[in-house]
């Protein structure tokens, strides 16, 4: 068994109906594939119908699971309600929601127009709010016994990050939404958790965050204590657990999956990693002599 293999029994999500925003590409697609393999009926949504159709064709051929797609801009509440209506029409229920859709690009903040800043806030924070509110209202009205929401954030939701300030601002909001509603809606059987991924190469993220030769200039693996990037199946394994009944007592949590990346950047003396082994004898001697 290795970390990049599927982790669960085939029926772990059997019968569950799960909406995944941004499910047509990248990490959303990886979660969609695995949830289907585990028996879920998955509804994917994004703005690009052709992309959704291609992904649907591919995953239906590849797995025995069920999949439906509905085009939707997460910023538009009416379109979000339409996704719920279409899901209920086809499958009769909704058990889970993964708020995965996002927009992001690197830029010095002072170069951003007001609209550019708003665009990221609207996709990430307003979009997650829209789906969360629509699903929450539905579950509460129907008195559904249990349901779960998983929000995909980032580690800079709590550290902040230069050059992706709208994204950091919005993801921090999504994390606050997660923790707040985990308490408020627990009485309705609704659990909310978040995953904070470190670097998981996807075309969507890498084209916008490491364009051109930045990929070579900044070897992202060097920022990670484990010296590698994440594999999509690893994230899908964690997401499947958090969407399943096995995680029934986990609520309001954010789970980091980043090989230790953000802590490497944070620890005051982590730079001492660069000191060669042979220097430690000398350093110890110098410190001991300071009595």
**Residues forming the site for ligand NAP (CB under 6 A):** 21-22, 24-28, 46-48, 51, 72-75, 100-103, 123, 127, 152, 154, 197, 199-200, 202, 204-205
**Residue 116 binding partner per list ligand HXC, ligand NAP, none, with a CB distance cut-off of 5 to 8 Å that depends on partner kind:** ligand HXC
Determine the Cα–Cα distance for residues 177 and 153; give it in Å rounded to an integer.
11
Residue bearing tokens 């594939």:
33
DSSP collapsed to 3 states, 44-80: EECCCHHHHHHHHHHHHHHCCCEEEECCCCCCCHHHH
Per annotation, catalytic residue among 91, 156, 163, 188: 156
Determine the Cα–Cα distance for residues 66 and 17; give it in Å rounded to an integer.
9
Least Å from the CB of residue 88 to ligand NAP: 19
**Residue 73 binding partner per list ligand HXC, ligand NAP, none, with a CB distance cut-off of 5 to 8 Å that depends on partner kind:** ligand NAP
Q: Which stretch binds ligand HXC (CB under 6 A): 80-88, 181-189, 198-206, 233-241?
A: 198-206
163 catalytic per annotation: no
Instruction: Give the contact letters, 90-129, x = binds to ligand HXC (CB under 6 A), - = no.
Output: ------------xxxx-x----xx-xx--x----------
Least Å from the CB of residue 136 to ligand NAP: 19
Least Å from the CB of residue 119 to ligand NAP: 9
- Half-sphere exposure at residue 14, Cβ-oriented, CA atoms within 13 angstroms: 5
Asked if 42 and 35 touch (Cβ cutoff 8 Å), the reply is yes
Our CB check for ligand HXC shows the closer of 8 and 105 to be 105
Burial class (CB in 10 A: 0-12, 13-18, 19+), 171: buried
Our CB check for ligand HXC shows the closer of 182 and 205 to be 205
Our CB check for ligand HXC shows the closer of 182 and 196 to be 196
Least Å from the CB of residue 24 to ligand NAP: 5
Q: CA torsion angle for 210, 214, 217, 221 (degrees, to 10)?
A: 10
Asked if 210 and 236 touch (Cβ cutoff 8 Å), the reply is no
Q: Please enumerate in sequence order all residues whose Cβ is within 8 A of that of 262, keeping only pairs 6 or more positions apart, or say none.
A: 155, 156, 159, 198, 256
**Residue 75 binding partner per list ligand HXC, ligand NAP, none, with a CB distance cut-off of 5 to 8 Å that depends on partner kind:** ligand NAP
- Cβ atoms within 10 Å of 15's Cβ, excluding its own: 11
DSSP state of 259: T
Our CB check for ligand HXC shows the closer of 47 and 93 to be 47
Which residues are catalytic, by number? 156
Residues near ligand HXC, by CB under 6 A: 102-105, 107, 112-113, 115-116, 119, 154, 167, 199, 204-205, 208-209
């Amino acid at each position: 068994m290795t970390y990049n293999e599927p982790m669960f029994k085939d029926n772990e999500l059997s019968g569950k109906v799960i909406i995944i925003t941004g499910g047509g590409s990248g990490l959303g697609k990886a979660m969609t594939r695995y949830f289907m393999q585990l028996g879920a009926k998955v509804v994917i949504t994004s703005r690009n119908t052709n992309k959704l159709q291609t992904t649907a064709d591919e995953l239906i051929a590849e797995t025995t699971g069920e999949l439906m797609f509905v085009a939707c801009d997460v910023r538009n509440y009416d379109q979000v309600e339409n996704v719920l209506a279409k899901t209920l029409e086809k499958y009769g229920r909704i058990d889970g929601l993964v708020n995965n859709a996002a927009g992001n690009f690197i830029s010095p903040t002072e170069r951003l127009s007001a609209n550019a800043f708003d665009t990221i806030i609207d996709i990430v924070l307003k979009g997650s709010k829209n789906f969360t509110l629509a699903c929450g209202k539905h579950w509460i009205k129907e008195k559904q016994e249990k349901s779960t929401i998983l929000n995909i954030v980032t580690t800079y939701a709590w550290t902040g990050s230069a050059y992706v300030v709208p994204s950091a601002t919005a993801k921090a909001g999504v994390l606050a939404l997660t923790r707040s509603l985990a308490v408020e809606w627990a009485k309705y059987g609704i659990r909310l958790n978040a995953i904070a991924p470190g670097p998981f190469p996807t075309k969507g993220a890498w084209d916008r965050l490491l364009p051109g030769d930045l990929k070579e200039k900044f070897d992202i693996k060097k920022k990670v204590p484990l010296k590698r990037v994440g594999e999509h199946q690893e994230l899908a394994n964690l997401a499947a657990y958090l969407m399943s009944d096995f995680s029934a007592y986990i609520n309001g949590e954010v789970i980091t999956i980043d090989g230790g990346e953000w802590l490497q950047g944070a620890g005051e003396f982590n730079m001492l990693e660069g000191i060669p082994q042979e220097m430690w004898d000398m350093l110890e001697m110098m410190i001991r002599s300071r009595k």
